[in-house]
Structure 1
Amino acid sequence: MTTAEWFLDFAERQARGSSPTYERLARGVATDQAVLTLIDTVPPAKRQTNLLFGVVRLLGGPVGDYPDFRRFVLGNWPAIEPELLRRATQTNEIGRCALLLPVLAALPQPLALLEVGASAGLNLFPDRFSYDYGAGRLGSTGPVLTCELTGRTPPGKLPEVVWRAGLDLNPLDITAPADRAWLEALIWPEHDDRRQRLRAAGEIAAADPPHLIRGDLVDDLPVLAASAPPEATLVVFHSSVLYQVPADRRETFKALVGTLPGHWVAVEDPETMGHPDRPTDGLHKNVLCLDGEPLAWTEGHGRRMSWFGGA
């Protein structure tokens, strides 16, 4: 996929119906050869749409109007390029906990949670958030995560979590102002609700910082997994992470995680999970899988889930 096709795909499949601002910018970049030429000077993994937009916002650049955005990118590329090279799209979207909860609540309790691509580790606290699937509130603490769930009964209980740890190439510290600024820059402009949820989850994590390890999802996963308490069900999970991992490394990770005790929960693009189908309604972008088996179509930020798999 060319860079232009990547930005157009983002506009069509991710931003359309969710962020008019980012849809407009992505379509503009997709047809702008001058901007595309600059983007193509960085490695493919650093050409991600979200990464460019987040860096521009972090540097105080305009995103409301494409001509202004274009002038900023062309005029400030020497500042933008190093930020692209050193950063990654570490969107710590806690709304995805609403996608994980139906699986987590149904597994043998208590749980030992290990998140791959943990960012600041905010999704390691699904037991401390509240949820609304349209049939009343579940939970009494933290931000309320609203998710439109079809195809199955909403979960009736929260998971019991006795251990939580995260693995990331560059773990973020939710108590560090610079790291918080990057997390907020990654939230799409119109999504004020997500921004407020991030701040509320950040307070929870800052009061009880999760155990985060700087490491690789293949090389360092077994040792961290082995440190989980044996009396708990180990759950290795991740959401919107594997698209950033090279295909060969991705397959190595899948083979490895299948050898670990416990369970593997993933919310990823269907292609990265080897799932040949795609939802066609324009609302659901990813697929929720348990131990590699697809269970539900999901919206990228956790707002909707359409269940089609087993209980």
Structure 2
Amino acid sequence: MNNKLDGFRHFCRRNSLFVIGSISVILILFTMTVGPSLCTHDPNAVKYSEKCISPCAEYPFGTDFSGRCVLCRVIYGAHISIGVALVVVVVGAFIGVTVGIVAGYAGGAVDSILMRLVEIMLSFPGTIFALAVLGTLGNGTINQIIALTVVRWAHYARLARGETLTVMNSDYIQAAQAIGNSRLRIIVSYIFPNIIGQIIVIATLSIGPVILAGAALSYLGLGAQIPSPEWGLMINGGKEYIRQAPWITLAPGMAAVLTVFAFNLLGEGIGDMIDPRLKEKAEAD
């Protein structure tokens, strides 16, 4: 028992970022999941007689300009802000990793064509490109997810290709080819398991930027629409009351900052556990 406890303490000391990040993310996801069932107010219920009430026992984060509970809206808004980010990261990583592995494994003309496409995508500023996509598709959460996915997938493709090329030079890949394994089997059984760690690190670190990008698009009115309690939309709605009722803007803003910070800690912690050099790759992306 003492050996296990000592081992756990040693793990926590060596991986403090991972431990702190994991606890923070778990608490955030727990609040996002359980919080709505504990809310005593409808996040979209308008009560003009209770508008702009400062934080109190009944309304811990106060009320907004329509008398809606800010705390309830922040909790419900987490489903949108964090949910959008998770979908974008998962879908973007799936597309990007698939393209990157195919490019790295196939080589030749396939590699050249796919990587030229990746370079073209990466040459555009992400936010500007997302705005262009939304300008074409229109507003809304689904279109916001599509726009952010289009922006993000190329980052994963470049990373996956580089890692695939590194793995391809390994002896076990050459041995797998020599004994007649199919290309699909080599990719699924040998290449993917050896690059998944790096992908997880970069994906975790990218959740924060995607949350901020999604909030920015909603702030501009291009993502979630009124009366959705999305964090960026809440910040936009409260900006006119920043002097009279600053909590309307501060609450969703702090929620976004703390969430981004938690996922960044988790990503850096995972990176330190797998390979400290991954931090440099993440920062470069």
Q: TM-score interval w.r.t. the shorter chain?
A: under 0.3
Q: Indicate the structure (1 or 2) with the bigger Cα radius of gyration.
A: 2
Higher percent of residues as helix: 2
**Greater relative contact order (CA < 8 Å, ≥ 6 in sequence):** 2
Q: TM-score, normalised by structure 2?
A: 0.21
Higher percent of residues as strand: 1
